Amino acid sequence: MAAYDKTDLERRMAGAVEALKGDLGGLRTGRASTALLDPVMVTVYGSAMPLNQVATVSAPEPRMLSVQVWDKSNVGPTDKAIRSAGLGLNPIVDGQTLRLPIPDLTEERRKELAKLAGQYAEKARIAVRNVRRDGMDSLKVDEKKGVFGEDERKRHEVEVQKLTDATIADLDATATAKEKEIMGK
């Protein structure tokens, strides 16, 4: 059986684009959004979990987020996870509820968020390049197994590279649009 599967590579690369869009959706541009806390991982019960699996997140006001922690013992780890997520939010603990006032976006904060968007984009580019590497490796394995010859392998490598280039261009366009949105341009 052939190890090379173009549809699997396409699916995995599209997954990297969707993951980037999800990460960028969590970067705020001035209004409170529950998606802002999507990248926050809380270490509870010995493992890292998404915030939405240990608490209910809501936006009761345009400039305020509320995090209702389900288990009282998880309030401290949740507070710590939000503070260390690099989102510039400082929770106010009120029993099992964390209130997160959304500060105004200063020029400095906009630059930090744009830099964070660039880091998310680079992480997605690395994921796409890893998928490309996996595809190239499977092509070489198939050639050694005799599934197809060197010419066909090279043709498939060109296809994989074109798919990689198109996906990275999509990632760059998505990141650039978000950076412009953050900077208010």
pLDDT band, very low/low/confident/very high, at 2 (cuts 50, 70, 90): low
pLDDT score at 131? 93
Please say if the pLDDT value at position 134 is more than 90.
yes
Instruction: State pLDDT tens for residues 57-66.
Output: 998 888 888 9
Q: Which one has a higher pLDDT value, 92 or 1?
A: 92
Burial class (CB in 10 A: 0-12, 13-18, 19+), 53: exposed
pLDDT score at 28? 64
| Lowest-confidence region among 20-24, 77-81, 101-105 | 101-105
d(CA 156, CA 162): 10
In CATH, 6-27+106-183 is 3.30.1020.10: no
CA angle 18, 20, 24 (to 5 degrees): 120
* Tokens encoding 29: 């541009």
Residue 75: count other Cβ atoms within 10 Å of its Cβ: 21
| Lowest-confidence region among 25-34, 65-74, 142-151 | 25-34
Helices (H), the chain: 6-25, 75-83, 107-145, 150-183
pLDDT score at 184? 75
Q: State in words which class domain 34-101 has.
A: alpha beta
Average pLDDT over the chain, rounded to an integer: 87
Three-class secondary structure of residue 157 per DSSP: helix
pLDDT score at 67? 92
pLDDT score at 46? 87
Q: Which one has a higher pLDDT value, 183 or 174?
A: 174
Please say if the pLDDT value at position 87 is more than 80.
no
Amino acid residing at 66:
S
pLDDT score at 37? 83
Domains of the chain, residue spans: 6-27+106-183, 34-101
d(CA 130, CA 32): 34
pLDDT score at 125? 95
Q: Is the pTM of this model over 0.85?
A: no
